[in-house]
Amino acid sequence: MLRKIAGLLLKKIHKSSNTGMKTSEKDMKKFLIVGLGNIGPEYKYTRHNIGFLIADRLAEKLNASFKTERYGEVAKANYRGKKLIILKPSTYMNLSGKAVRYWLEKEKIDPKNLLILTDDVNLDFGSLRLRPKGSDGGHNGLKNIQELLQTNQYPRLRFGIGKDYPKGKQVDYVLGKWTEPQMKELPGLIDKATDAIISFVQEGLQRTMNQFNTRSKPTSKTANN
C-alpha cells in the first residue's frame, strides 16, 4: 500500500515538473518586438521614428497586420515555432515604457525576449548595433523604459542616424526628416534590420551580434540638403 502511494506521489511530481518545463519552453518561444517612435503622420519619416519603420517592415515580411490595442498598434505573427508580438507604442516617445511594461506583463514575456528598436545619433547613418543591455544614452524612450521596468537588462537594436548637426540642434535633427539620398538607401537598410530581428528570434543574441553589428558607413551624407 505504501509503495502504491509513493508511486502515485512520484508520478504527480514528475507530471508537475514536466508541466513547468513546458510552460518555460513556451515562454521562451514568445518575443516582444517594440519599435520606438511618435504617432502622427508628421513624424512618420523623421529620424526619431526609424523604430516604427522597422516594425512596419517586420510585420509586412511576416504577413501580419497592425490593430489598435491598448497603448499602441500591435501585430502578432508566428515564425518557425516562435510567436512575435510587434508593438508600436501610441504613448509618444517619452512614455514608451508604459506600453512596453503593459505588453510584457500581459503576454508574460521575459525581458530577455524583449527587443527595442531605436535610433542612435552616436552611430553612423545605417549602422546597426545590437546589445543585451546598456544605458539610455540620453534617449528619452529608453530612459522611460528603464525607469518603468526598473532595469536596463533588456536587448536593444540601435539604428544609426548620424550626428551631423550644429551644437544645440540635436532635437531639431532627430525630429527632422531624412535627406533624399538617405531615403533611397533606407529600404535596404531597414530590410537588414528586420533580418537582424529574425536572427535574434531564431539564432539568439550572440550569433546575431556577431553577424549584424557593424560600423560600416553608407555613402549618403547625414546632413540635410
Residues tagged active-site: 48
Q: Are strands 156-160 and 72-79 parallel, antiparallel or unpaired?
A: unpaired
Instruction: Determine the Cα–Cα distance for residues 29 and 59; give it in Å rounded to an integer.
Output: 17
- Which residues pair with residue 129 across a beta bridge? 158
- Which amino acid is located at 108 in the chain? K
- Asked if residues 31 and 113 have their Cβ atoms less than 8 Å apart, the reply is yes
* Spatial CA neighbour of 125 closest among 172, 176, 165, 182: 182
The SS3 assignment for 215 reads coil
**Residues in contact with 129: Cβ distance below 8 Å, sequence separation at least 6, in sequence order:** 120, 123, 157, 158, 160, 213
| Radius of gyration, alpha carbons of the chain | 20
